[in-house]
Structure 1
Amino acid sequence: MDNHFYGIIPPEFSSLHHLHHLQLDMNSLHGSIPESFAFLSELSLVTLMDNNLTGPIPRSLFSNCTLLGNVDLSINFLTGKIPEGIGNCPNLWTLNLYNNQLTGQLPLSLSNTSLFNVDVEVNHLSGELPANVIGKLPSLFLLHLSYNEMVSHDHNTNLEPFFTALGNCTDLEELELAGMGLGGRLPNSIGRPGAQLYSMLLQENNIYGSIPSNIAYLSNLIVLNLTSNSLNETISAEISQLLNLEQLFLSHNFFTGTIPAALGQLPELSLLDLSNNQFSGEIPPSLGNLVQVNSMFLNNNLLSGTIPPELGKCDLYKLDLSFNALTGSIPKEILHEIRIFLNLSHNYLDGRLPVELSKLEKVQEIDVSSNSLTGNLFPEISNCTALRMINFSHNSLQGNLPDSLGDLKYLESIDVSGNNLSGLIPTSLNKLQALSFLNLSFNNFGGPIPSSGIFNVVTNLSFLGNPHLCGSISGMSTCSKSRKWFG
């Protein structure tokens, strides 16, 4: 494996009658899988993943396969149907066919095997979700069907039969049904796979309704992803019983009402994504109990009220509360640990721009644009040495831009447009080799625009609405040689 072999698979392999393992993974083999593999009656493992193989899976591969246990043909360009004869392999325990171009349905004969690992995602498989197959594979622990063209029962309206069948798979640990447009409500039988399930990925479907209370039976669940569905009711408070849950993705749905305070009872939660819904009311202070959370996304909702200072108890690396209707000042309690980004933009926040932002030494992006913040842009901003993006636009900031901005050597983008800033543009900005976007428009800056660095590549669009600026940039007025400028 991984030997840079190319060409076709030699048909002569079929003469190796006592061959047990054939591993040709991660090469550049092309052509079809030889029909002559049928002569390898002692074969127990065939792995041809990550090549350039084409054509159908030969039926002959499963004509003499009583010892065959592991088949991995994933990451190729195989076409056609999965042969029905695969059911002739009673000891088959792993079937990996993901990332191909296979069509048709999962063969019913798979129920005659000993499968506990089925991964066929990213193909063109169709038909109803294979409840009649899955229900007869009690040892199944991994089932990946994502990104196929399957539908739920009753013309893509009923998920109940499939989840009921999963109840026979008491050892199931991973269930992935993403990106298929599956329709229907989450049934009460969602809890039937039982306590062993730790990952359930159902994103990018057409599932609607609520999250049922029976989800509490999945007591070992670590990851639940329901992003990009049509869920449009409530989140059951029983979700708080998922005490091992680490990642909860519920974004891009139509959830309404308030964010359940019970979410604050998930002690292991490290990621909470409720963005792009229609949640209203205040952010529950109980979310501050999520001391393990490092990523919290509540953006693009209808949330109101103030930002709870209790969120400062969370170990936040990423916090996004943008595009809501939040009011009040930015609590200094939350400004101590954020390491990746802070986005509070497009709200109704007021008060002074907190100097405590300078304590975010590892933060990479700060966006507090489109609020009603006042005060100055303080020189201590240079303490945020990892900053790549600053967006303070569309507020009511005053005073000068500090020269210390030139110390932010990783800065790529700065936008302070739509404020009341004044004085000279700091020449220190021309030291920033990474800086590629600059927007100082609609302020009260005056004097000559500096030269070199970023100022050699920007246009007058970076300076619109500053009538007292001058410089050699096309579209700007020329500076008077006799006038003295002061910051």
Structure 2
Amino acid sequence: LGAETESNIVLEERVRQRYILALLYFSTNGSQWANNNSWLSVEHECTWFGIKCGPLFASTAVSEEDSTDVAVTYVDLSTNKLSGSLVSELRSLEELVALQLHDNVLTGTIHELMFTFPKLSTLFLDKNELTGTLPPIIELPKLQYLDLSGNGLVGKLPAFTSAESLLDVRLTNNEFCGAIPDSYYRSMPRVETLLVDENHCESTEAET
């Protein structure tokens, strides 16, 4: 890509991600957050509280100005008095690696699109007031750490595919039900921590 083309792509990406972050701000009552420094200001969104960015292009030979980190890769608004619901548009942050919104007062359901991030390695939504079911299959190929504990999630535990990277899964203190087949563990060959206690789950049973 030429320098001008890459600059246009960067501008488009910034407009898009500012819009998505604004949706998150309004849907979770951003004016009431414990810390909302710089949010919705004219400052670069990568300087907003809780936001970190990385390069939009894997490699680039464009100017110094255009080669700065501009793609949102990290959102950490944990313990920040967020309330309200999550917006599915967050999924459009294609470069997102970590989403940490734990220890807030988030309500409503978790949209199935939240489980389709291509690069997400950390998803912490624990200790909120989220309800509803999870999609039957979660496919997050880069996911290493998942914590949905301490909510009001119901239904069956989801199946994990492409879960070779998973190291730590915490689904405790919800209202999940159903048996946990042996295949659940086989689908996570590298998992070191798998916590599903304090649910309505039956103990592990052999797959039939």
Report the TM-score range of the alignment, normalised by the length of the smaller protein: 0.5 to 0.7
Question: Equivalent residue for 1:384?
Answer: 188
Residue in 2 that maps onto 1:337 = 141
Q: Residue 283 of structure 1 corresponds to which residue in structure 2? A: 86
Residue deviations 1:188-217 (CA, integer Å, cap 9, x gap): xxxxxxxxxxxxxxxxxxxx8743468424
**Other-structure match for 2:65:** none
- Within the alignment, does 1:304 sit opposite 2:130 as a pair? no
Q: Measure, in 1, the Cα distance between the counterparts of 2:170 and 2:76.
A: 18
User: Is 2:50 aligned against 1:246?
Assistant: no
Match of 2:75 among 265, 272, 295: 272
Conserved? CA contact 1:285–1:311, under 8 Å: yes
1:396 equivalenced with 2:200 (yes/no): yes
CA contact (8 A) 1:309 1:331 kept: yes
Q: Is the 8 A contact 2:73 2:96 kept in 1?
A: yes
CA distance in 1, matches of 2:143, 2:162: 10
One-letter amino acid matched to 1:362: S
Name the counterpart of 1:253: none
Report matched runs for 1:3-22 at 5 Å: none
Q: Which has the higher contact order (CA 8 A, sep 6+)?
A: 2
Distance 1:335 1:387 in 2: 15
5 Å-filtered alignment, 1:151-230, equals 210-212=36-38, 215-218=41-44, 222=46, 224=47, 226=49
Q: List aligned pairs for 1:81-480, cutoff 5 A.
A: 210-212=36-38, 215-218=41-44, 222=46, 224=47, 226=49, 246=53, 268-314=71-117, 315-332=119-136, 334-354=138-158, 356-357=159-160, 359-380=162-183, 381-402=185-206
| SS of residue in 2 equivalent to 1:376 | strand
Q: Is the 8 A contact 1:358 1:382 kept in 2?
A: no
CA distance in 1, matches of 2:182, 2:128: 29
What TM-score, normalized to structure 1?
Answer: 0.30
Shift of 1:337: 2.1
Q: Which structure: greater strand fraction?
A: 2
Deviation at 1:362, TM superposition (A): 1.5
Shift of 1:316: 1.2
- TM (norm. structure 2) is 0.66
* Alpha-carbon spacing, 1:217–1:358, altered in 2? closer, same or farther (3 Å): closer
In structure 2, C-alpha distance between the alignment counterparts of 1:329 and 1:214, rounded to whole Å: 32
Identity %: 23
Mark the CA change 1:313 to 1:322 in structure 2 (over 3 Å): closer, same or farther. Answer: same
Aligned length: 157
Contact 1:310 1:333 in 2 (8 A): no
AA in 2 matched with 1:216: V
User: 1:326 aligns to what SS in structure 2?
Assistant: strand
Q: What is the letter of the counterpart of residue 151 of structure 2? A: N
Q: Does the residue aligned with 1:386 lie in a helix, a strand or coil?
A: coil
Structure 1, unpaired ranges of 5+: 1-207, 228-238, 240-244, 248-266, 404-487
Deviations 1:110-169 (A, max 9, x none): xxxxxxxxxxxxxxxxxxxxxxxxxxxxxxxxxxxxxxxxxxxxxxxxxxxxxxxxxxxx
Q: 1:307 to 1:293 in 2, by over 3 A?
A: same
Unpaired segments of 5 or more residues in structure 2?
1-33, 55-69
How big is the shift at 1:281? 0.9
Larger gyration radius, structure 1 or structure 2? 1
Question: Residues 272 and 334 of structure 1: is their aligned pair in 2 closer, same or farther, counting only changes over 3 Å?
Answer: farther
Cα distance in 1 for partners of 2:39, 2:102 equals 25
